[in-house]
């Protein structure tokens, strides 16, 4: 009996131990993995911290700035030594300044010429930089071909104080084109761009000089007053009637040259009276800075500037452009001469 009681006590103790183990044991997450070895981690230290790749201590070499090409000398230079507005390197810009100073000293006085008893005057225009096209003072009147506004640099030159007159044309050519007003002091009109080339060729043969038509840029720079420009809408002022013969005051005829106020350079009739042929072909403006530009693209058309006695005031502005066939002529289109240094 005593032996049987001992066996029952032992079984009860064993049952209690089993119950305690069951309440305190927690199996590994993910099931029974006690028979498996933990997966081996590659290249990660088992410190309990997240792994972050060590940043590189090497630094890349600084990138050299892109070099730009000078529009004058053609050299590629560091942008630090480049004038973006003018499109030239500092060396060329310094040379241009020195050249203009010397030219200004040499050409302080006008040049006067006499052909077969007819005299005319060429006024000095010291070279410089300007914004060409539909600038702020033209706002409200501009059209699409006056854009984009672009920076232009010009060398010095001489330009006619007035338009070529009937008297000068006759002195060179021996005759004048048929037109309504034959007053010798009026601008010659009814001359095509081609006629002007013949006139200039004969004039150069008679004088030994190198007269030509102004480039469009030369014409606009002079009309604006060159380096003395006050930013007027018309050549010489903002009131068109003070400086120009045009639709409202000319009665449809050109008038004697010099009858209105001159501009800052002492030039007459750059606005109104007779529109003036330029050397260029008619083309869209460039989008970049230019030095002494001349459009030679074969567009089939030539340019005149300044407006004339048949034109509304908006066409007499210093930035207004007009295109014509080189064979075209009209009773309000003439010319003005340029003489390069």
CA distances from 313 to 23, 110, 206, 220, 236 (A): 106, 30, 38, 17, 14
* All domains in the chain, ordered by first residue: 66-106 (no CATH), 111-340 (3.90.1580.10)
223-278 pLDDT, tens digit each: 999 999 999 999 999 999 999 999 999 999 999 999 999 999 999 999 999 999 99
Q: How far is CA 200 from the centre of its chain?
A: 31
Q: Alpha-carbon torsion 196, 201, 206, 209, what sign?
A: positive
Alpha carbons 197 and 261: distance in angstroms, whole number: 29
76-128 pLDDT, tens digit each: 988 887 887 778 898 888 887 787 777 776 677 999 999 999 999 999 999 99
Alpha carbons 205 and 267: distance in angstroms, whole number: 26
Read off the pTM: 0.74
Half-sphere exposure of 315 (CA within 13 A, CB side): 21
């Amino acid at each position: 009996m005593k032996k049987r009681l001992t066996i029952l006590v032992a079984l009860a103790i064993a049952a209690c131990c089993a119950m305690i183990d069951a309440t305190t044991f927690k199996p590994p997450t993910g099931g029974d993995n006690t028979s498996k070895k933990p997966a081996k981690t590659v290249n990660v230290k088992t410190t309990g911290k997240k792994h972050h790749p060590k940043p590189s201590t090497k630094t890349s070499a600084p990138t050299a700035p892109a070099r730009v090409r000078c529009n004058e000398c053609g050299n590629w230079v560091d942008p630090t030594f480049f004038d973006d507005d003018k499109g030239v390197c500092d060396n060329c810009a310094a040379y241009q300044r020195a050249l203009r100073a010397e030219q200004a000293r040499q050409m302080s006085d006008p040049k006067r010429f006499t052909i077969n008893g007819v005299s005319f005057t060429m006024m000095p225009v010291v070279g410089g930089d300007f914004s060409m096209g539909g600038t702020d003072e033209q706002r409200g009147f501009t059209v699409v071909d006056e854009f984009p506004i672009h920076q232009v640099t010009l060398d010095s030159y001489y330009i006619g104080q007035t338009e070529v007159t009937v008297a000068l044309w006759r002195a060179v050519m021996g005759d004048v084109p048929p037109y309504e007003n034959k007053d010798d002091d009026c601008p010659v009109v009814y001359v095509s761009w081609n006629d002007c080339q013949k006139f200039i060729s004969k004039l150069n043969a008679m004088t030994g000089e190198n007269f030509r038509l102004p480039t469009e840029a030369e014409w606009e720079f002079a009309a604006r007053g060159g380096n003395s420009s006050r930013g007027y809408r018309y050549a010489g002022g903002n009131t068109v009637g003070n400086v120009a013969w045009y639709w409202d005051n000319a009665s449809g005829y050109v008038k004697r040259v010099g009858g209105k106020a001159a501009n800052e350079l002492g030039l007459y009739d750059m606005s109104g009276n007779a529109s003036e042929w330029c050397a260029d072909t008619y083309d869209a403006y460039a989008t970049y800075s230019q030095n002494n530009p001349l459009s030679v693209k074969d567009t089939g058309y030539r340019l005149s500037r300044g407006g004339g006695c048949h034109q509304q005031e908006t066409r007499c502005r210093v930035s207004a452009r007009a295109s014509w066939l080189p064979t075209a002529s009209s009773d309000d289109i003439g010319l003005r001469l340029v003489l390069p240094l």
